[in-house]
Amino acid sequence: MTIKIIMDTDPGIDDAAALTMALNDPEIDLRLVTTVAGNVTVDKTTKNAQKILRFFNKDVPVAAGAKQPLIKEFEDAARIHGESGMPGYDFPEDLPKPLDKTAVEALHDEIMSSDEPITLVPTGSYTNIALLFSEHPEVKDHIERIVAMGGSLGLGNMTSAAEFNVFTDPDAAKIVYQSGIPIVMVGLDITMQALLTPESLSKLEHMNKTGKMLHDIISNDGDNSEAGIAMHDVNTIFYLLHPEAITTEAMWIDVITDGPAIGETVGDIRGAYHDGETNADVCVDIDSAAFNKWFLEEVAAINY
Ligand SMILES: [Ca+2]
């Protein structure tokens, strides 16, 4: 059984690794890639997504999306992902044009024409998805669930309170968490646990062409430590394929949209505000060794 997904993404080093897994794992059917401003500007994230598709010779359609958040001013993460968003590897530059429609229209068309409900996998800010729900609310009945990288029950990585994707567009995140669609929050609570270790990274280098490409871009990640490098977005794909390796807790997530905690995802762990209602399954624990083992096995299986 394959899982039909759409990735809404802002490559981005870890996005590129997540796309690599989604494009090549036989259990995942990646129907569409939409892009959003985030790690770098949307023209760059679109090109980067296309570079990964071109690298694997896959013709999954790409539609360019929002240039900026709904309300908040745009701030990129080029200090971590480099000026291009995906430095360190010489990708071919002869890229096809993206679809001649917006990300929102492409999302609408793909979701409504699918014969089964689709899983949305946002790995950037949620601006495109929030716009989609506002402009085409009928799509909500045709979405299986949203498995979203972003948020944190603990500390943030942009501010003390906020994780990057939610911080980038907190107003969009609020709309998505209030949409009524089942959401799995794949946040820093697990992505900062499941670091790609230095041993795993060095194994990638000599594995195959894919391993070399991932090694070279991941080595340029500005947010590394001695323990390893967080592969944030890749955890969404790992969750889809190996939910048994991740512990989730159902709770209500509220998104703070102003003030010093802007972009914080507040988990109502004690059920103080929502009468026991929940709107998300929040990932709280992960088998990091299983994540590393799976990551290497996925790349080895690509055989390219
Ligand atoms: Ca991302």
Residue 262 has a pLDDT of 97
CA angle 264, 82, 282 (to 5 degrees): 30
Of the candidates 72, 49, 139, 61, the one whose C-alpha atom is nearest the C-alpha of residue 102 is 61
Residue 78 has a pLDDT of 85
How many whole angstroms from 192 Cα to the centroid of ligand 1? 14
Mean pLDDT on 202-219: 96
Residue 82 has a pLDDT of 86
State the average pLDDT for the chain: 96
Residue 222 has a pLDDT of 81
> Sorting pLDDT into bands at 50, 70 and 90, what band is 155?
very high
How many whole angstroms from 235 Cα to the centroid of ligand 1? 11
Residue 224 has a pLDDT of 82
Positions annotated as catalytic residues are 232
What's the CA gap between 18 and 216, in Å, rounded?
A: 15
Q: Could you tell me the residue range of the domain that residue 73 belongs to?
A: 3-300
How many whole angstroms from 15 Cα to the centroid of ligand 1? 5
Give one DSSP letter per residue of 123-152, joined into a string: -S-SHHHHHHHHH-GGGGGGEEEEEEE---
Tokens of 215: 């090694």
What is the number of structural domains in the chain? 1
Instruction: List, for residues 171-184, the tens digit of each pLDDT value.
Output: 999 999 999 999 99
| Residue 57 belongs to domain with CATH number | 3.90.245.10
What's the CA gap between 160 and 195, in Å, rounded?
A: 20
How many whole angstroms from 302 Cα to the centroid of ligand 1? 22
How many whole angstroms from 272 Cα to the centroid of ligand 1? 32
Residue 279 has pLDDT above 90, yes or no: yes
Whole-structure pTM value: 0.97
Residue 71 has a pLDDT of 95
> Sorting pLDDT into bands at 50, 70 and 90, what band is 77?
confident
Residue 221 has pLDDT above 90, yes or no: no
> Sorting pLDDT into bands at 50, 70 and 90, what band is 105?
very high
Tokens of 217: 């871009």
Q: How far apart are the first and last CA of the chain?
A: 24
